[in-house]
Amino acid sequence: MKKQSNLSRLLEIAGSHKYLTYASWVLSAISALIALVPFYYIWKMIKEVLEVAPNFGQAQNLTGNGWMAVMFAVIAVLVYIAGLMCSHLGAFRIATNIRIKTMEHIVKLPLGLAESFGSGKLRKIVNESSAATETYLAHQLPDRANAIATPCGLLVLLFVFDWRLGLLSLVPVVLGFLIMMTMTGKQMQEKMKEYQNALDDMSNEAVEYVRGIPVVKTFGQTIFSFKKFKDSIDRYKVWVIAYTKQLRTPMMFYTAAINGVFATLIAGGLLLTQDGVTSDFLLDLIFYIIITPVISVTLTRIMFQSENAMIVDDALQRIDSVLNLKPLEEAKNPMHPQNASVELQSVHFSYDGAEEVLKDISLTIPAGKTVAFVGPSGGGKTTIANLICRFFDPQSGMVKIGGVNVKDISKEELMNTVTFVFQNSHLIKASILENVRMGKPEATREEVLTALHHAQCDDILEKLPQGVDTLIGTKGVYLSGGELQRIAIARVMLKNAPIIILDEATAFADPDNENRVQTAFSKLAEGKTVIMIAHRLSTITNVDHIFVVNAGRIAEHGNSRELLSKDGIFSHMWKNYQTSVQWKVTKEV
């Protein structure tokens, strides 16, 4: 099957607006042809001047021809503007449709898959790749029609007046075109892809660097502690310098060739006038010298259009890299969970077909119980939570909620059944009221205030200028990590889902905020099934059951008393934790 061209794809996305794009090409081509008409009137003016020389006062049509040249130049500009208006309307519609299509697909993707893609890279694809298509359609394609029509009109003009000078004018054009081909071939397309990859890497690492600034300030680290970010900048620098050096020589010869038309005409004129100069030949030579700069401008346009075509091709490939990600299968015959219990049966899971992260995990969490996952970092605790939320699907085995496979629960009901509080909760740039109401869009103001009260947020509202209506983020106020966490808990409380997952939810809280967050958790957990992922073992001593996850397996399980009575992983973790709590700095006297 023949691959659909990028232009065909874009016009298909445009729908009925594609006719505006067609109109822009026609108008741009007409504009290019009209723009050549003033040169004819310039030729008539030169001819009249040469005929009356040296009695220039006898020239009677200079003013009329001059105004005719101006009139056609203005008409060409107006027609070109009309073409751009049509192309922009079509381009904006296409870019909008691409963004809508991409975002609609992203929201269907597993949350874990979208997160692993990288927020900086994903945002760059949605915004900049679609913007690249807009630039291509709004400017480059009309200019291409213009660039095609211009040489056609020039060929007629070049050969009408003097075919010999016309051929001389084309020599540097052909040479420049051949050099340009070496800079816009398949090899350069690969270079363009490498360039966009380097930009993606920097965008991703920049986002992570900005997020990590609080840690840098806290621990006095330098930028070099963010080695990945610095390495991405260094890689970009090396690539750009190498790319520039590679194109330096062909670009130098290309520039010399397309700007050498004038020199070619002078040299040719000297050869053709060895037997004497006629007024007609001098007229044509002057005219060709005036008009040939249009050739260099046209060739440069074509070169940049080739580069932009490669940019669009790369942009569409990046959009496809998102659109080709498969969303989770929707339940064909949705079933309703019987209760808030959670069960994993012989679950195996790996990311992207790599080494298994979870190996034959089986566990049961009864409804209304509070359990904790603990264990060494990288053991698979968060991955288990991700599978329960169905951020991913296991390669084998089954995850059940209320006795029903999560694959058989509708996405909306699953999201209403399971909610989560991450260690680094995010709020949108809106008021506290709107942020909390995201948990239950139809909630009243009183319900939001009640949730904030239960989440221990009264002190936050009291110190803010507009209370619950205070804007958070840009042009608003900024809150500490613990305060943001409490507002996120209020949002979860308002949602009132029967299963709650807490992933290191007190990691960034100071002692005072941690105490308030723990109080909020106690209220939040009433009558709910709670799954906690924690490194601070003191926060889980009173849970109903503890699962120790190590190397992708359930190494131990039981309550804290049972696990501490054994010489196992949990008892060793507890001893190390107690040692770290008692550790303090002593001052030598």
66-77 pLDDT per residue, tens = 899 999 999 999
Rounded CA gap, 114 and 106, in Å?
7
CB 69 within 8 Å of CB 41: yes
Check pLDDT > 60 for residue 223.
Answer: no
Q: What mean pLDDT do residues 191-207 have?
A: 69
Residue 48: closest CA among 63, 67, 64, 61:
61
Check pLDDT > 90 for residue 398.
Answer: yes
Rounded CA gap, 140 and 15, in Å?
20
Q: What sign does the CA torsion over 510, 513, 516, 521 have? A: negative
Q: Where are the beta strands (DSSP E) in 106-180?
A: none
Q: DSSP code of 467?
A: G
What's the full length of the chain, in residues? 589
Residue 488: closest CA among 569, 394, 423:
423
449 or 138, higher pLDDT: 449
Q: DSSP code of 537?
A: G
**Segment 353-359 long-range contacts (CB within 8 Å, at least 24 positions apart):** 356/552, 357/383, 357/552, 358/383, 358/384, 358/387, 358/394, 358/552, 359/551, 359/552, 359/553
Rounded CA gap, 564 and 573, in Å?
10
For residue 562, give Cα distances in angstroms to 121, 369, 427, 566. 46, 17, 40, 7
- The string of DSSP letters for 14-75 reads HGGGHHHHHHHHHHHHHHHHHHHHHHHHHHHHHHHHHHHTT-GGG--SHHHHHHHHHHHHHH
Instruction: Determine the pLDDT at residue 405.
Output: 92
Rounded CA gap, 279 and 526, in Å?
102
pTM beyond cutoff 0.85:
no
Q: DSSP code of 431?
A: B
For residues 153, 159, 165, 167, the Cα torsion angle rounded to the nearest 10 degrees is 80
- Most confident range (mean pLDDT) of 150-154, 294-298, 572-576 is 572-576
For residues 321, 322, 325, 328, the Cα torsion angle rounded to the nearest 10 degrees is 180
Predicted confidence band at 472 (pLDDT cuts at 50, 70, 90)? confident
Q: pLDDT tens digits for 515-560? A: 777 777 777 778 889 898 877 777 787 889 999 999 889 999 998 8
Check pLDDT > 60 for residue 451.
Answer: yes
Q: What mean pLDDT do residues 224-253 have?
A: 77
CB 351 within 8 Å of CB 357: yes
Predicted confidence band at 589 (pLDDT cuts at 50, 70, 90)? very low
Give the list of residues 6+ apart from residue 364 with CB closer than 8 angstroms, or none.
Answer: 341, 342, 343, 344
Q: At what angle do helices 481-495 and 511-524 cross, to 10 degrees?
A: 10
Check pLDDT > 90 for residue 266.
Answer: no
**342-350: strand order across its sheet:** 356-365, 342-350, 396-401, 404-405
Q: What mean pLDDT do residues 355-379 have?
A: 89
Q: What mean pLDDT do residues 424-452 have?
A: 85
Q: DSSP code of 504?
A: S
583 or 192, higher pLDDT: 192
Q: What sign does the CA torsion over 570, 583, 521, 388 have? A: negative
For residue 167, give Cα distances in angstroms to 47, 151, 158, 293, 317. 22, 13, 8, 15, 42
Check pLDDT > 90 for residue 264.
Answer: no
Q: What mean pLDDT do residues 351-359 have?
A: 81
Other beta carbons within 10 angstroms of residue 554's beta carbon come to 21
- The string of DSSP letters for 174-187 reads HHHHHHHHHHSSHH
Q: Token pair of 304, please?
A: 């940049």
Q: What mean pLDDT do residues 110-116 have?
A: 65
Q: What residue type is assigned to position 427 of the chain?
A: L
Instruction: Determine the pLDDT at residue 220.
Output: 47
Q: What residue type is assigned to position 80 of the chain?
A: Y
The answer to which of 287-296, 458-467, 493-502 has the lowest mean pLDDT is: 287-296
CB 328 within 8 Å of CB 393: yes
**3-state SS, residue 554:** strand
- The string of DSSP letters for 381-427 reads HHHHHHHHTTSS--SEEEEEETTEEGGGS-HHHHHHHEEEE-TT---
Radius of gyration of the CA atoms of the chain, in A: 35
Check pLDDT > 50 for residue 90.
Answer: yes
Q: Token pair of 508, please?
A: 């960034």
Check pLDDT > 80 for residue 380.
Answer: yes
CB 108 within 8 Å of CB 281: no
Instruction: Determine the pLDDT at residue 226.
Output: 64
**Taking the chain, what is the end-to-end CA distance rounded to the nearest angstrom?**
83
Check pLDDT > 70 for residue 350.
Answer: yes
Q: What mean pLDDT do residues 298-319 have?
A: 71
Q: Token pair of 160, please?
A: 């009408």
Q: Which residue has the tokens 């700007």?
A: 259
Check pLDDT > 70 for residue 289.
Answer: yes
Beta bridge pairs of residue 371: 531, 545
Set out the domains of the chain in order of their start, with CATH numbers: 6-323 (1.20.1560.10), 342-582 (3.40.50.300)
The chain-wide mean pLDDT, for the chain, equals: 79
Check pLDDT > 60 for residue 485.
Answer: yes
Q: DSSP code of 134?
A: H
Q: pLDDT tens digits for 42-63? A: 888 888 887 777 777 777 888 8
